Structure 1
Amino acid sequence: MNDEGLVYVSLAQLMALEFKARDLSFLARQPQGSILAGNHASRLRGRGLNFDELRRYQPGDDLRHLDWRASLRTGKPVVRTFTEERDRPALIVVDQRMSMFFGSQRSFKSAVAAELAALAAWMVFHAGDRVGGLVFNDQRIDSIAPLRSRKRVEALLSRVAEQNRALNAGNRDAEDEDQLDKALQRCLAVAGHDHLICIVSDFAGAGERTLQLMRQLSAHNDVIALQVYDPLALKLPSNGRLLVTQGELQVELAIEKRNVHQPLGDFLSGRLKDVATLLRRSQVPLMMISTAEEAHEQLRAELGKKAGARR
């Protein structure tokens, strides 16, 4: 399992995903059945309006834009005018912690997360919006300010590829278990309001603080969560041996034994369900992406797109 893109990704590979993102959109009108369609509590707002100026009321102006305070102060009707935002900033938050360095089928979670981040970045870029992000591992958080520029997309994906290729089975797990929350806290400080925020992670270590931060982020921004998971968390094979690695420690488990299979299966499936339940409580749209299938096709399915629907 050493093929490029299955365990590790390259910058060239992530840049080349641009053409696969052309028929995908977070913001376009979604078909029925899409996670972003209908009256979802966190339906994407799209572009907003920026305040432009105060001016005298003219016949035909929308009365809802009357500024009562200014009108009373001047003794004449005054309206507030607005211009539509030309673009808006997006932050792609990408998890490359050691918890992501695992895969039992096709790809590692870290590689799938990198691909999803690239697809999201290109989707935002093609929508005419500004691309930025946060890329974090167990030790650091890299921040890239949003800008509408192909070079900025490349800068973001370069950080993703750099952190992805730094992952190694010999790496120690971080002693700091709050790195996910720290990344979300940094995102909250950077985002302010009216951002599109796409969080790509397995959400390992998520708890009540994570839930609180997700709710804070979604109060004034559009937030989408992509939870990357491995099929092993849903169903363990009935026989064989499983090598479990944590830093320098490796343990081989005989999973055909009932006293190993049942507790391990319950733990993995329970952990995945707990995190998914927590994320749903945040009212943030949640897409679950498996390591066993191509990221692009899964994202298309989650968005409710049909193959060939938009070319």
Structure 2
Amino acid sequence: MKVKDLNTEFPKDIFTTLKELLEMERFARNFLFKSSRKKVKSVLGGKHASKLRGRGLYFEEVRNYVQGDDIRNIDWKVTARTKVTHTRVFSEEKEKPALIIVDQSKSMFFGSKQRTKSVVAAELAAIAAFKVLKQGDRVGGIVLADQEIDVLKPKRDRRNILRFLEKVVSRNRELIEGKSTLFGDLLKETMAKVQNLVTHDYLVVLISDFHRYSPEVIQFITRIKHHNDVVLIKVTDPLEQDLPPAKFVAGDTETQITIDGKNNKLRKQFADGFDMDLSDFKIQMRKHGIPVIQVNTVDPVDEQLKEAFGQSRK
């Protein structure tokens, strides 16, 4: 079945549109994209300085001369004053291409109050893409759906972002069709694509709910981290953590069950299970220096990003 291109078929906050994603660009202007809770490499922070022994673009520091330093960089004034040979260290701008992987599979097609997780993930992908482009770096993307994946190689081109967002919208709208899932096989294919694209000194941003990620995928993520920066953005919905205090029926296309939300013990077990899973996931990733940012489907995305990464001065 072909997806119908009618706005009435795709209500706002359940599905996204290209216009809405393009509007996310305004939220990419003032962010520092550095964790406010702990030191993280300049994630989506723009130009990435690397120290060099030799001539560069920016002066870094003066330090004691060591064998092998370029004698042309000796600071004779400091050397004369201290009677110890000093050299200047410069830095250069180093490119930081980015690959944004956004999940638009069936588990993301859920939202209990404001928006679906798939819409929030699409908005986050748009903000990240525009932020990277504004810093002058190449940006590409992978859209992960249940049946197929779309791959766009990193380019320093606004049109590439437009194509990426068009793919996101297309896969987002396909969620209405209810196709059967081949998610496990596609994950393996996605890993192979990422491995071919990402070499070293990349920024990899993975946006998902991480519900169906096997230990093999997690191991792959940690391997990518060895030579690159990796940021995980976990999209969650309040109903995944807190059961409503009422009896209700929940189900999928195959099974339905009655849940007694009035049972306080059940509600506590449900909340504790969510908190434990999230904490374990964050701890596991922290061991490899991978930050996990949690974003919910209720609060505005830009406000949550401000809290997670901070905001630069205008």
Same-fold status (TM-score > 0.5): yes
| CA gap 1:280/1:180 in 2 versus in 1, 3 angstroms | farther
The equivalent residue for 2:203 is 196
Whether the aligned pair in 1 keeps the contact of 2:242 and 2:270 (CA below 8 Å) is: no
CA displacement 1:122-149 (0-9 Å, x = unmatched): 1101111111011111222211011111
| CA gap 1:238/1:18 in 2 versus in 1, 3 angstroms | same
Unaligned runs of 5+ in 1: 54-61, 68-81
More displaced stretch, 165-174 vs 184-193: 165-174
- The equivalences for 1:147-166 within 5 A come to 147-166=155-174
- Give the distance between the partners of 1:273 and 1:231, measured in 2 at CA: 16
Which residue of 278, 284, 289 corresponds with 2:290?
Answer: 284
The equivalent residue for 1:255 is 260
CA displacement 1:134-174 (0-9 Å, x = unmatched): 11112222110111111011111111111111112733333
Whether the aligned pair in 2 keeps the contact of 1:207 and 1:278 (CA below 8 Å) is: no
- Give the distance between the partners of 1:127 and 1:233, measured in 2 at CA: 36
Could you say what secondary structure the match of 1:243 adopts? strand
- Give the distance between the partners of 2:185 and 2:286, measured in 1 at CA: 20
- Give the distance between the partners of 2:134 and 2:194, measured in 1 at CA: 23
- Give the distance between the partners of 1:185 and 1:284, measured in 2 at CA: 20
Could you say what secondary structure the match of 1:20 adopts? helix
Which residue of 233, 239, 250 corresponds with 1:243?
Answer: 250
Q: CA deviation at 1:282?
A: 3.4
The equivalent residue for 1:186 is 193
The equivalent residue for 2:112 is 104
Q: CA deviation at 1:214?
A: 1.6
- Give the distance between the partners of 1:122 and 1:169, measured in 2 at CA: 30
- Give the distance between the partners of 1:273 and 1:301, measured in 2 at CA: 19
Whether the aligned pair in 1 keeps the contact of 2:111 and 2:297 (CA below 8 Å) is: yes
The equivalent residue for 2:87 is none
CA displacement 1:21-59 (0-9 Å, x = unmatched): 111133xxx4xx614x53x4x6659535699x9xxxxxx
Count of residue correspondences: 278
Whether the aligned pair in 2 keeps the contact of 1:135 and 1:143 (CA below 8 Å) is: yes
- Give the distance between the partners of 2:13 and 2:36, measured in 1 at CA: 28
- Give the distance between the partners of 2:121 and 2:13, measured in 1 at CA: 11
Whether the aligned pair in 1 keeps the contact of 2:146 and 2:180 (CA below 8 Å) is: no
The equivalent residue for 1:301 is 307
- Give the distance between the partners of 2:68 and 2:100, measured in 1 at CA: 34
- The equivalences for 1:70-219 within 5 A come to 84-85=92-93, 87-168=95-176, 170-174=178-182, 176-177=183-184, 179-180=186-187, 182-219=189-226
Whether the aligned pair in 2 keeps the contact of 1:233 and 1:272 (CA below 8 Å) is: no
Q: Which amino acid aligns with 2:201?
A: D
- Give the distance between the partners of 1:65 and 1:135, measured in 2 at CA: 47
- Give the distance between the partners of 1:191 and 1:265, measured in 2 at CA: 37
- Give the distance between the partners of 1:275 and 1:64, measured in 2 at CA: 45
- Give the distance between the partners of 1:108 and 1:249, measured in 2 at CA: 21
Q: CA deviation at 1:293?
A: 0.9
Whether the aligned pair in 1 keeps the contact of 2:104 and 2:171 (CA below 8 Å) is: yes
Could you say what secondary structure the match of 2:184 adopts? coil
TM-score, normalization by structure 2: 0.75
Q: Give the root-mean-square deviation of aligned CA atoms.
A: 3.5
Which residue of 218, 232, 238 corresponds with 1:231?
Answer: 238
Whether the aligned pair in 2 keeps the contact of 1:218 and 1:284 (CA below 8 Å) is: yes
Q: CA deviation at 1:196?
A: 1.0
Whether the aligned pair in 1 keeps the contact of 2:27 and 2:302 (CA below 8 Å) is: yes
Whether the aligned pair in 2 keeps the contact of 1:4 and 1:10 (CA below 8 Å) is: no
Whether the aligned pair in 2 keeps the contact of 1:50 and 1:85 (CA below 8 Å) is: no
Percent of residue pairs bearing the same amino acid type: 32
CA displacement 1:98-125 (0-9 Å, x = unmatched): 1111111211111100000001001101
Whether the aligned pair in 1 keeps the contact of 2:243 and 2:261 (CA below 8 Å) is: no
Could you say what secondary structure the match of 2:175 adopts? coil
CA displacement 1:244-297 (0-9 Å, x = unmatched): 32xx33525243364975665565555444444433343201111111211111
- Give the distance between the partners of 1:50 and 1:164, measured in 2 at CA: 42
| CA gap 1:274/1:172 in 2 versus in 1, 3 angstroms | farther
TM-score, normalization by structure 1: 0.76
